[in-house]
Amino acid sequence: MRYDSITEAIGNTPLVRIDPAVHGLSHIDLYAKLEMLNPFGSVKDRAAWNMARPALASAAERGETVVELSSGNTAKALALLAGMHGLKFKSVTNRMRVPEIKELLLLLGAEIEELPGQSECLDPTDTDDPLTRFHQALAGPENAYLHTDQYFNPRNTEAHATGTGPEIVKDLDGRAPDWFIACVGTAGSSTGVARVLREQDPGVRVVGLVAHKSDFIPGIRTIDEVHQVGLFDPATYDTIESVTAGEAIDGMLTLIRRCGLLAGPTGGAAYEGAVRHLRTVDAELAEAGAAERRTAVFIVCDRAESYLSYVRQRRPELLGRPPRKNSAAALSDAEVRQLATVIGTADARRWIEDGRPRPLVVDLRGPHAYAVLHIDGSVNIADELFEELLRGGLPFSKRQPVLLACPIGEKSARYAALLTRMGHPDVRSLSGGIVAWRDAGAPLVRD
């Protein structure tokens, strides 16, 4: 395959059969449309390219900025397309909820505007919700924006009516599947594909999947949010069902660990929602003794890598590591009390002045706090770094006495206990910490 531009690689994604041993359906062949294999990594590549393509040349002439309300894949694709055409891209979003995506967008050169959070005290005089303000800015007289408007732009749907849908039909040897299952975000892919499949076979059943109302699944809207999408028409779907974040992660794990598909949570939600829906009809088919096989297609819209923090937040055990060596957190409170030597402010001052050798004072607070005020002559090793250091062994000579200090003497006692257990003969913790030191009127300096 040889291309002149990466945009030529958009579309023509594979349709891969899911092993029946995995999904357990006996009368239905389930296929995954691997939109994650688009060059920018998601199903949105199609829509972004189709929406932007006709306007890019004139936008470049006028030096416009491409702008879209997106916190994810559409922004990613548009940022790359804008960059290829010498344009800037700006994404306006309701707070990036997935940090990797945000950083990736910054890497791609996107400018990101994050909208404010919800008001706590209702202000009835507040007429301009952030989105209204956004649209006002776009409509302003000096606007130099190319707004792709993915939630209302018919070219979003069209990208799938001319691409995704026909590809599915072609790969199923000219037939539409019996079921098409898609997550609803902008409603572009589900609407466009459904239109083509129904033209082929009016009997195809379309299942729209939305996120459970109290959950967050990247790229999927909740049942309330879909109503705010101009492309959304309830008549497109034979049924709308909701999936939870838990199901999305379950599905993602199945696709990754058993099918070799590196799918993200949205693809996981589509798989899980598809199997859940099809299980009932499969049982009915089995009961009726149906001989012929049916087919169903779902969309895997993007890849897993960008969602590790999403997984970490919800299922930390999936990213589990073996327990750390020499961890302060692993000590029980009783062990801390038993092992740690603590010393009050007055004794500590005497020790610092008269000790032979004098103790090394280690301040475990963050560097900014240390910079503002600290015990004269102390060194700063913030607790996170100290924890890392200790994993490798003792960072001080055993002949060097050490006084550990933290804000209130709690963390320092824990580390004193750990160092003692690691074999250091004389490490002490400043009782009551820097707070007690200050309250006793002992000197603190800034350099």
In the complex, the residues that contact other proteins under the rule CB under 8 A are: 95-96, 102-103, 106, 111-124, 129-131, 152, 213-214, 223-224, 227-230, 232-234, 365-373, 382, 406-408, 410, 434-435, 438, 446
Nearer to other proteins, 286 or 371 (CB): 371
Nearer to other proteins, 74 or 295 (CB): 74
Nearer to other proteins, 27 or 221 (CB): 221
Query: What is the closest distance, in whole angstroms, from the C-beta atom of residue 112 to other proteins in the complex?
Result: 4
Query: What is the closest distance, in whole angstroms, from the C-beta atom of residue 425 to other proteins in the complex?
Result: 29
Residue of 49, 25, 51 lying closest to 35 (CA atoms): 49
Nearer to other proteins, 56 or 92 (CB): 92
Residues 6+ apart with CB under 8 A from 379: 360, 361, 362, 363
DSSP string, 97-130: S-HHHHHHHHHTT-EEEEPP---SS--TT----H
Nearer to other proteins, 200 or 345 (CB): 345
Backbone angles phi, psi at 65, to 5 degrees: -100, 130
Distance, CA of 29 to CA of 22 (rounded, Å): 11
Question: What tokens were used for 178?
Answer: 């019996």
Nearer to other proteins, 10 or 69 (CB): 69
Distance, CA of 224 to CA of 207 (rounded, Å): 17
CA angle, corner 69, sides to 63 and 70, nearest 5? 110
Distance, CA of 325 to CA of 101 (rounded, Å): 32
Whose structure tokens read 């497109």?
A: 236
Let me know: does 237 contact 207? Beta carbons within 8 Å: yes
Nearer to other proteins, 234 or 392 (CB): 234
Query: What is the closest distance, in whole angstroms, from the C-beta atom of residue 160 to other proteins in the complex?
Result: 20
Query: What is the closest distance, in whole angstroms, from the C-beta atom of residue 34 to other proteins in the complex?
Result: 31
Query: What is the closest distance, in whole angstroms, from the C-beta atom of residue 235 to other proteins in the complex?
Result: 10
Query: What is the closest distance, in whole angstroms, from the C-beta atom of residue 378 to other proteins in the complex?
Result: 13
Torsion from C-alpha of 165, 171, 175, 176, nearest 10 degrees:
-40
Query: What is the closest distance, in whole angstroms, from the C-beta atom of residue 437 to other proteins in the complex?
Result: 10
Residue of 325, 324, 323, 335 lying closest to 416 (CA atoms): 335
Query: What is the closest distance, in whole angstroms, from the C-beta atom of residue 129 to other proteins in the complex?
Result: 4
Q: At residue 258, what is the residue type? A: R
DSSP state of 431: T
Nearer to other proteins, 162 or 222 (CB): 222
Let me know: does 294 contact 29? Beta carbons within 8 Å: yes
Question: Where would I find the beta strands (DSSP E) of 216-332?
Answer: 239-243, 294-300
Nearer to other proteins, 395 or 407 (CB): 407
Let me know: does 348 contact 430? Beta carbons within 8 Å: yes
State CA 85 to chain mean position distance: 28
Let me know: does 87 contact 54? Beta carbons within 8 Å: no
Nearer to other proteins, 120 or 173 (CB): 120
Query: What is the closest distance, in whole angstroms, from the C-beta atom of residue 396 to other proteins in the complex?
Result: 22
Query: What is the closest distance, in whole angstroms, from the C-beta atom of residue 244 to other proteins in the complex?
Result: 13
